[in-house]
Structure 1
Amino acid sequence: MSVDNISRADELVPSRYAVPVGDIEVLVISDGVLPITASTLATTTPPAELAGWLDDQFLPRDVVDWPLNVVVVRTEGRTILVDAGLGVEFPDFPRAGQTVARLEAAGIDPGAVTDVVLTHLHMDHIGGLLTEGLKARLRPDLQVHVASREAEFWEKPDFSHTVMPQPIPDVLRRTATQFLNDYRGQMRTFEAECEVAPGVLVSRTGGHTPGHSIVRLESCGERLTFAGDAVFAPGFDNPQWQNGFEHDPEEAARVRVNLLREVAATGEALVATHLPFPSVCHVATAGDVFRCVPAVWDY
């Protein structure tokens, strides 16, 4: 299926949300939702405890919808796409993979994108770049920023600490291999951090994957962090819960706690891939755990 077969311009649901960070323009775009087995949210947690959390959140106990968010950052003449969603090559997930169509609905031509930042190479973050017909529309000088540890990991990935349903591991491996083959010449790798543009800093955290990274935005005294998969919905009040997609669950928990502590201390805005759209929130501390405080929509 090509992007030309999808039209979302007349959707009746919101799929993009603008939030300024000083002089930096930020647009959060929903890539849609995909279903996952609820047990994946907390693989080492007693089932009754997870069931109680799901009940408290008015979520089903068997399969939950997982939101997917990407971000467009515009500053200093650059248009930076942070993650690319699932893409349209996965028919089992028909409600996700909307990034390209929704970019166009927002008036953003894919050819205007100067940089892509990938928090990591899971398929729901890179699939949009593999959508049929898209690559030919991208700029020949497009720069794709990804941590070197991430690119190295996917040359020979280790899934021994993950708890993912089949056939997801094989699909992740195949998708990452295709991405590396297609975009290796445009990749700009970094070790610890990379300043893509003034006030746009990509920092490797590890944990979720060895090269997982977050994006920090700062301008005119305002800050926003895009956390990628460092934070999931249960991770505020249950930061130690292990997600089945985490390649180093213990390190991922440490990264999550440290990040949430920092964001709570600064009072900055937080956006994450799998929080309910538009996911713009603040973090409050509540004893040894955290509380997600959704931002008021400005309309």
Structure 2
Amino acid sequence: MCLGHESHPGNELVPSRYALRIGEIDVMVISDGAMPIAANILGTNVEPDARDAVLRDKFLPDPIDWGLNIIVVRSAGRTILVDSGVGSEMPDATRAGRLALRLEGAGIDPASVTDVVATHIHMDHIGGLIDQRLRSRLRPDLRVHVSGTDVEFFAAPDFSHNTFGGIQDVIRSSARKFLDAYRSELRTFDKEHEVAPGVVVTRTGGHTPGHSIVRVASGGERLTFAADALVPVGIECPEWQNAFDHEPEDATRVRVRLLREAAATGELFMASHLSFPSLGRVAVAGDAFRYVPAIWAY
């Protein structure tokens, strides 16, 4: 059943929110839906036959359902929205852009959001903020935290060295709308910033020049939201580059470093485009990583 944007959240027959606690911090994973992405954007540095064999082995179709995971974090009286989905920026993606609806279904009033972290300025991470279904309900004193490096880059982006799957125009136009709409609300940072106690955003670069991750830590527990540092098959094949990375070689180094850290700590680990709710842990044997999905706590 295909549900339209205006469906009541109580009518949806798919899981779209998952709550957990990291020590004393509440976290809710919310799905903005999914977009179909052509499989050939993955493994751009490997032979197509080898790439396709891996995808078949994992029963991944072409196109691949590209999940859109967002988190809402509550710490010390602050409510932090990490990314905002695609909004209306890709109208052909009829199963995405559902954040406003799903916040309602989760009982989260957009006016209660004190802070937003934009992990990077791509349309599927900032689109919700420029969609009136959500923007019109946000508070006037909202703080939007984003890497100053990304703000500088996307003010006049140079895409001449990358195809981005043919969506350069959408990336460029959504970035311009976001920067125009939130200029006064932006709180830029250089390397790292603590948004609230135990909630830290850190610039990694790679996927975009200012791409960032968010770590939530409390009571000896930790969750890393890796944003687009890895995409489907990125754990099992971290050397695979993809067409959406601005700096593919840097992105690979970031990906491997984050996976090694996650394997060493045993922390919960998730990313924007893995299958909802994408929570799991990373195991390592030699140079090979594997993903162990977390057990759902019913």
Q: In the alignment, which residue of structure 2 is the partner of 1:209? A: 208
Aligned counterparts of 1:162 and 1:6: Cα–Cα separation in 2: 37
Residue identity in the other structure for 2:114: T
**Residue pair 2:5, 2:98 contacting (<8 A) in 1 also:** no
Q: CA deviation at 1:136?
A: 2.7
- For the aligned residue pairs, the C-alpha RMSD in angstroms reads 1.3
Is residue 52 of structure 2 the alignment partner of residue 55 of structure 1? no
Q: In the alignment, which residue of structure 2 is the partner of 1:256? A: 255
SS across alignment from 1:137: coil
Q: In the alignment, which residue of structure 2 is the partner of 1:140? A: 140
Q: In the alignment, which residue of structure 2 is the partner of 1:110? A: 110
Aligned counterparts of 2:186 and 2:219: Cα–Cα separation in 1: 30
Q: In the alignment, which residue of structure 1 is the partner of 2:46? A: 45
Q: CA deviation at 1:88?
A: 2.9
Q: Equivalent residues in 2 for 1:145-164 (5 A)?
A: 145-164=145-164
Residue identity in the other structure for 2:51: L
Q: Equivalent residues in 2 for 1:24-103 (5 A)?
A: 24-60=25-61, 62-103=62-103
Residue identity in the other structure for 2:34: V
Q: With structure 1 as the length reference, what TM-score do the two structures score?
A: 0.96
Residue identity in the other structure for 1:135: R
Is residue 179 of structure 2 the alignment partner of residue 180 of structure 1? yes
**Residue pair 2:119, 2:146 contacting (<8 A) in 1 also:** yes
Aligned counterparts of 2:234 and 2:123: Cα–Cα separation in 1: 22
Aligned counterparts of 1:45 and 1:261: Cα–Cα separation in 2: 22
Cα deviation, 1:110-160, whole Å, max 9, x if unaligned, reads: 111000001001000001111124323211110000000000010111223
Q: Equivalent residues in 2 for 1:218-233 (5 A)?
A: 218-233=217-232
Q: With structure 2 as the length reference, what TM-score do the two structures score?
A: 0.96
Is residue 296 of structure 2 the alignment partner of residue 297 of structure 1? yes
Q: 1:56 to 1:173 in 2, by over 3 A?
A: same
Q: CA deviation at 1:64?
A: 1.3
Residue identity in the other structure for 1:31: D
Aligned counterparts of 1:96 and 1:236: Cα–Cα separation in 2: 24
**Residue pair 1:35, 1:64 contacting (<8 A) in 2 also:** yes
**Residue pair 2:89, 2:123 contacting (<8 A) in 1 also:** no
Aligned counterparts of 1:295 and 1:133: Cα–Cα separation in 2: 32
Cα deviation, 1:67-121, whole Å, max 9, x if unaligned, reads: 1100000111111000000113432100001111100110001111000001001
Gapped regions of structure 1 (runs ≥ 5): none
Q: CA deviation at 1:271?
A: 1.2
Q: 1:287 to 1:163 in 2, by over 3 A?
A: farther
Q: In the alignment, which residue of structure 2 is the partner of 1:272? A: 271
SS across alignment from 1:65: strand
SS across alignment from 1:202: strand
Q: CA deviation at 1:26?
A: 0.4
Aligned counterparts of 1:162 and 1:285: Cα–Cα separation in 2: 31
Residue identity in the other structure for 1:5: E
Aligned counterparts of 1:276 and 1:174: Cα–Cα separation in 2: 27
Q: 1:293 to 1:4 in 2, by over 3 A?
A: closer
Q: 1:12 to 1:146 in 2, by over 3 A?
A: same
Q: CA deviation at 1:287?
A: 1.7
**Residue pair 2:164, 2:245 contacting (<8 A) in 1 also:** no
Aligned counterparts of 1:213 and 1:149: Cα–Cα separation in 2: 10
Residue identity in the other structure for 1:233: P
Gapped regions of structure 2 (runs ≥ 5): none
Q: In the alignment, which residue of structure 2 is the partner of 1:19? A: 20
SS across alignment from 2:169: helix
Aligned counterparts of 1:205 and 1:147: Cα–Cα separation in 2: 10
Aligned counterparts of 1:141 and 1:17: Cα–Cα separation in 2: 28
Aligned counterparts of 1:219 and 1:251: Cα–Cα separation in 2: 30
Residues paired across the two proteins, number: 295
Aligned counterparts of 1:47 and 1:96: Cα–Cα separation in 2: 28
Q: 1:32 to 1:4 in 2, by over 3 A?
A: closer
**Residue pair 2:271, 2:278 contacting (<8 A) in 1 also:** yes
